[in-house]
A and B are shown apart, each in its own frame.
Chain A
Amino acid sequence: MIRVMPCKSNKLHTLFLLSLLMIMGSSAAYAGKPVFELQIRNHLFEPSTLSIPANTKIKLLVHNTDKTPEEFESYELNREKVILGGQKAVIFIGPLPPGKYPFFGEFNPKTAQGEIIAE
């Protein structure tokens, strides 16, 4: 934010900002989301395939039972979450259209692989 331009008032900017915030700002929580659980054990996801309801937002509880951290990574789900060793993390997913959504552990990508099936 280094100085480069002189000052000039313009309300258009504020109106645009207000409109965007009104559209995006309705952050009501989704109550009663189904909860699914996933474990990381010996650098593997258990279960490696998880079926969830399509078109429904779910809460995925990931428990890393290993001593080392792992990263839940999925481009298809647009999620990237580091879970420290021995800790749990919550990942909100969906609502997803029916389909298969692969995920992997970025610290152990060759072994830690899985798939979410929305059906």
Chain B
Amino acid sequence: MRRKHPVFFISLLGLTASSQGFADGLAVDRVYEPYVNPLEKELEYRRVEVNRSESGRQRDSIQKLGFAAAVSDRLALEAYIIDDDLGEKTIDAFELEARYQLTEQGEYSADWGLMLEYEKQRENKETELAATVIIAKQIKRFTTTVNASLIYENLGNDKVEWDSQLNAQLRYMYHPHLEPAIEFYAGEDYRGIGPAAMGTIRFSNANSLHWQLGSIFGLDQDSEDVVIRFLLEYEFY
């Protein structure tokens, strides 16, 4: 089964290459790791601030609040409520996420995971389904993580799009409280790269608080000038 991963990837890439474009969602989000720990639960808050320039785009920020729980030693489920500046409602969308750890950490030359996401807008019939392959590879104190997504979007009125998205991160394990990183995001009409930092503060009873902060700079005229992303995640058992 595990040796079939390259075949799966070639298939995924074939689909990706034949798509008409890239995901028209906001590409800057978070870079997922493939690991799942049994019994673990998480409360998560994310905020993404977009610095608009001449592009005239309308969104300034997106907020997500999520709750995750591992339901086995390989599978974690998470549900989000989403607020964005475009919608008139406080909660503009819902998202469900399932993340599956395919290989044990360090078992192969890279660690593999798979994630499925479903998002539903409240104000219209738009839905989105995304399949993401998660790959992480550690070389000494550096960890490279890649999230490659294939996205199906139902925009309503029989309009359907196939898109793809790539999120990548190079992280240096400097200290548990502070790990610098470089992140790259490529989505529909967006290419951005920039520095990020993250860390984990541990409390008693195996609880911990994980934080991430990143500022991603657009690489071309179509991309937003600066996107700031912030994440807080409280892990508990």
Chain A contacts to B: CB under 8 angstroms: 1-14, 16-18, 20-21, 24-30, 57, 69, 71, 75, 78-82, 84, 90-94, 106-107
Contact = CB atoms under 8 A, between A and B. Distances in A.
Interface in B97-145: 103-110, 112, 117, 119, 126, 128, 130, 135, 137-138, 143-144
Contact of A4 (B50, B105, B109): B50
A92 B109 contact: no
Interface of B: 2-3, 5-6, 9, 13, 16-17, 20-26, 29, 35, 37-40, 50, 57, 59, 62, 73, 82, 84, 86, 92-93, 103-110, 112, 117, 119, 126, 128, 130, 135, 137-138, 143-144, 146, 148, 151, 161, 163-166, 168, 173, 176, 186-191, 202, 205-206, 222, 237
A1 B26 contact: yes
Per CB-CB distance, the 9 closest pairs between chain A and chain B, nearest first, are: A1-B25, A92-B106, A27-B108, A7-B21, A106-B206, A5-B189, A8-B189, A13-B186, A4-B26
A20 B108 contact: no
Nearest to B138: A78
A28 B86 CA distance: 46
B206 A24 contact: no
